Amino acid sequence: MNQPSKPSKPSKPKQPREGSRAWEEALAKNQNYARNIVIEILRNSPQGGEEPAASLNGWLKKFPELQSVVAQHFDLCARTEVVWIARLAGGNLIAKEAIKREIETLKLEVAGEAPTGLERILASTVAVTYMAQQLGAMTAAENTTLAEMAAVDRRAESMQKRFLRAIEFLNNFREKTKATQATLVSSRRKSAAAAKPRSRPAPTRRPKLEN
């Protein structure tokens, strides 16, 4: 008696040979591979240039979602903070690390744990103006002549005003955001209540009149 034949297993698709044109085309469609290439371009081209810029532009056209990788590499807030930290530290690596930690703590206190994009920028602005104010105070203490002290004092006073304005702007932004959110919540509740079908009152029974 013939035994039923076992169903054949589906064959796996043949992988392209490494180094072949098909292999290169498959890599060009892989997002992880594209991400690594973009990171490599950014690291190996600190001064920019036409060729790496053209290559980067080509990869970003194929993978627009990798724009965040470029934005993170060229974070203007972080780059500005690095410059001010270096100026305050004055070449002292221990002071540089201490100032960096202080600024990170300050930004966390100002922005919170899950800040919006604008809150993150405002927190960095507060940190930068704080460092500028401290540098102005340090410079004023090191100058000896009255003319130098007067000029530095004016600069330090200007930095202090910018620091206070940044804090005020952040507080106003949060108050307006809370008010907007409260208005939206109230509007949604009213819309939900209006959409609910109203229950009709049960009909009242009239008593029967006896003859």
pLDDT tens digit sequence for 136-159: 878 777 766 667 667 766 776 777
Co-location of 64 and 84 in the same domain: no
- Establish if 199 belongs to a structural domain: no
Q: Which two tokens stand for residue 38?
A: 């973009």
- Establish if 1 belongs to a structural domain: no
Quick check: 52 and 44 in contact, CB under 8 A? yes
What pLDDT, on a 0 to 100 scale, did the predictor assign at position 112?
81
Does the pLDDT at position 86 exceed 90? yes
Q: Which two tokens stand for residue 132?
A: 């500028």
Co-location of 124 and 57 in the same domain: no
Q: Which of 38, 73, 108 is the last residue of a domain?
A: 73
Quick check: 120 and 76 in contact, CB under 8 A? no
Contacts of 41 (CB under 8 A, 6+ apart): 52, 55, 56, 59
Which residues span the domain enclosing 102?
Answer: 76-189
Task: Classify the C-alpha dihedral 168-170-171-177 as positive or negative.
Answer: positive
pLDDT tens digit sequence for 90-119: 889 999 999 999 999 998 888 887 888 788
Give the gyration radius of the chain's Cα atoms. 32
